[in-house]
Amino acid sequence: MEDADNIPTKTGFEVIAAYLKTLDASPGVYRMLDAKGAVLYVGKARNLKARVSNYARPTGHSARIFRMIRDTASMMFLTTRTETEALLLEQNLIKQLKPRYNVLLRDDKSFPNILVAKSHGYPAIKKHRGAKKEKGAYYGPFASAGAVNRTLNQLQKVFLLRNCSDATFESRTRPCLLYQIKRCSAPCVGYVSETEYAGLVSDAEKFLKGRTTKVQETLAAQMQEASDAMEFERAAALRDRLKALTFVQGSQAVNPAGVAEADVVALHMEGGQACVQVFFIRANQNWGNRDYYPRTGAGAEAAEVMQAFLVQFYDQKDPPRQLLLSDDIEDADLLSEALSAKAGRKVEILVPQRGEKKELVAGALRNARESLARKMSETATQAKLLAGLAEAFDLDGAPARIEVYDNSHIQGAHAVGGMIVAGPEGFLKSQYRKFNIKDETLTPGDDFGMMREMLTRRFKRLLKEDPDRQTAAWPDLLLIDGGAGQVSAVHGILAELGVEDVPMVGVAKGVDRDAGKEEFHRIGQRPFALRRGDPVLYFIQRLRDEAHRFAIGAHRAKRSKAVGATPLDDVPGVGATRKRALLAHFGSAKAVSRADLSDLKAVDGISEKIAETIYDFFHEKG
């Protein structure tokens, strides 16, 4: 009799057909799983029974769908009340499970906005990223920090608004350099009244809303009035602002007259890869663009790639009033309904066929095509370097994931470890990790001890989350900054954890610590060097330098935070505003700690209860 564990699991059309008798015409989400239980694909359906019956037919499928059906050993189903719910649930599961045959947006960072903060009599204008919790008006999104900074620079030239913090504003006794170079009106020292400053803020907001003609007319009229009144200095200042505004309007690229608010989304596919280019049009102005390279789900068609991208892209972002697409999608009405519900207003989805909107899409499509060509060229170069790395270090194949470790400290203080990751697509910055060294028993400067803590934490987590190594989170190569001693120590650490099959290489500085003379150390083998000028050597140097840069950056951030820390940070109920008020009143945290209860109560914004909390905090510590 055959052992049950050795009976091959059935897969394919018959397995899928067996589910039909259990399904009805409800909308919902289905999952296709392989023999090991790994999710191959997540899909949504208006009618689950009809959709699954399509998969049960043995003909009429693309090569991609045929492979997926062939590998399917089981399915899971979840019904929903509406197809819109199914659409949203589908994309949430795709992001969570990352199935092999689904399209996946891999880079989903938030975008910066411009915030006109309204919590102060003289509002500041500044860059903002993240949750919109601060009181004020938000304008965006902008494609990048660079696009925001350019716009802020223009706004400062034209409208002379402050960008300093409220604490800096309150503490100034004379104007800063920005006033000297005509980038601020110096409200901090009373050079402009609150009413006049409010007018500047209003004009800046009109500009951000696209009403630049009105601002120009106002500035021109004010300049003429000043000239007629022979206030020539004021007239000259207004003339400079008008010139700056005219320059801004002339220098901005692609400012569509007939498109007030839209995202232009263009897709180019080639060689199994895809690039999606997104242009942000707000207030009839181009606020920048960004390219994305979604995973194409083993060969999905353009309509599926575009739809999956849009649903995942707008999952955590507010959609504009119009989406201008290069390709049709299957469920445009459904997606429009879901995005409209999210935004609380109508969101149109269009594939323009003529006119200015068509030209905008054509421009984005050209950018997508050129970006993908550059990306494919870089990927080909990277593939050669990874193959060279495999040959140099006798690896089984080109590594798909390289982890490089380094640490940074000053005589043991503020110790931080850093891990960077690289692979076929270059540096994977979303995978970088920093490790605050927690072991207080370490001797200051004990690099071995820091490396032990870092690697122990990293691999314990890997073993807990993915003991069977089913995901791409496991490294194919470790690069360690150091020589034979460091490699031996790392080998011992991993052996203790039962991880002895991950190749590792120590990169030592070599003779005279000269770049180009690096020596490479591996367990049980003699050290060796690569010839000067070898591209693989330069590649390893870049990896090591990137790890060093990341570790130093993490260390500096930790050190800066520690330098700015005060005992007030630990007092319950004392946030940033009360902390500023206390420091402004007493001059230092030490003076606050020594203050009498009556003195604490005298501080603006400090209630009797909070004053008692502060007093008790410092005096109970004894």
Contact predicate 187/176, CB 8 Å: no
Has residue 510 got a pLDDT over 70?
no
Please report the pLDDT score of residue 610 as a whole number: 87
Task: Indicate whether 582 pLDDT > 50.
Answer: yes
Q: What is the predicted pLDDT for the residue at 440?
A: 66
Q: How confident is the model at residue 410 (pLDDT cuts 50, 70, 90)?
A: low
- What six digits make up the tokens of 566? 């005060």
Cα-flanking dihedrals φ and ψ of residue 403, to 5°?
A: -110, 130
Q: Does residue 572 carry a pLDDT above 90?
A: no
Structure-token match 């409800």, residue found: 26
Residue with tokens 């000043």: 226
* Single-letter residue type at 130: G
Which pLDDT value is given to residue 231? 77
14 has a pLDDT exceeding 60: yes
Q: Give the pLDDT confidence score for residue 559 in this predicted structure.
A: 61
Residue 343 confidence (pLDDT) above 50: yes
Question: Per-residue confidence at 3, pLDDT binned at 50, 70, 90?
Answer: very low
| 110 or 175: which leads in pLDDT | 175
How does residue 313 score in pLDDT terms, banded at 50, 70 and 90? very high
DSSP SS3 for 405: strand
The one-character DSSP state at 273 is E
Q: How many CB atoms are closer than 10 A to CB 285?
A: 22
The Cα-based distances of 478 to 101, 342, 402, 509 in angstroms read 29, 44, 6, 17
Strand stretches in 12-102, DSSP E: 28-33, 39-45, 74-79
Nearest to 455 by CA among 501, 413, 407: 407
The tens digit of pLDDT for each residue in 458-483 reads 999 999 888 888 778 899 999 998 88
How confident is the model over 24-48, as pLDDT tens digits? 999 999 999 999 899 999 999 999 9
Confidence of residue 415 (pLDDT cuts 50, 70, 90): confident
Tens-place pLDDT, residues 258-300: 888 999 999 999 888 899 999 999 888 888 889 999 999 888 8
Q: Cα-flanking dihedrals φ and ψ of residue 408, to 5°?
A: -145, 140
Q: Between these two residues, 362 and 183, which has the higher pLDDT value? A: 362
- In the sheet with 322-325, reading across from the earlier edge strand, the strands are 285-292, 273-282, 261-270, 322-325, 348-350
Mean of the per-residue pLDDT values for the chain? 85
Q: What backbone torsions phi and psi does residue 441 show, to the nearest 5 degrees? A: -90, -5
Q: Delineate the domains of the chain, giving CATH numbers in brackets.
A: 9-101 (3.40.1440.10), 113-251 (no CATH), 261-374 (3.30.420), 402-562 (3.30.420.340), 567-620 (1.10.150.20)
Q: Which residues have CB under 8 Å from 541's CB, separation 6+?
A: 515, 518
Higher pLDDT, 412 or 130: 130
Q: What is the pLDDT of residues 355-365, one digit of tens each?
A: 999 999 999 99
Looking at residue 571, its pLDDT comes to 78
Going by pLDDT thresholds of 50, 70 and 90, the confidence category of residue 145 is: confident
294 preceded by a cis bond (ω within 30 of 0): no
Instruction: Please check whether residue 541 is in contact with residue 530, taking contact to mean a CB–CB distance below 8 angstroms.
Output: no
Q: How far is CA 180 from the centre of its chain?
A: 36
C-alpha 437/C-alpha 409 separation (Å) is 10
Q: Tell me: pLDDT of 322 over 50.
A: yes
> What residues pair up with 117 in beta bridges, in sequence order?
136
pLDDT of residue 1: 36
Q: What pLDDT does residue 621 have?
A: 46
Least confident of 183-197, 537-551, 605-619: 605-619
Interatomic CA distance for residues 341 and 44, integer angstroms: 19
| Confidence check: pLDDT of 190 > 60 | yes
Asked whether residue 312 carries a pLDDT value surpassing 80, the answer given is: yes
| Residue 596: predicted pLDDT | 85
CA distances from 134 to 437, 602, 606 (A): 33, 28, 21
Mean pLDDT of 84-93: 91
Would residue 573 be called left, alpha or beta, if left means φ above 0 and alpha means ψ between -120 and 50 degrees? Answer: left
* Least confident window among 72-76, 124-128, 540-544, 582-586: 582-586
Confidence band (pLDDT; 50, 70, 90) for 89?
Answer: very high
Percent of the chain with pLDDT over 70: 89
Q: Where are the alpha helices (DSSP H) in 190-349?
A: 194-208, 212-228, 232-251, 302-313, 332-343
Question: What's the mean pLDDT in 485-498?
Answer: 88
Greater confidence (253 vs 500) lies with 500
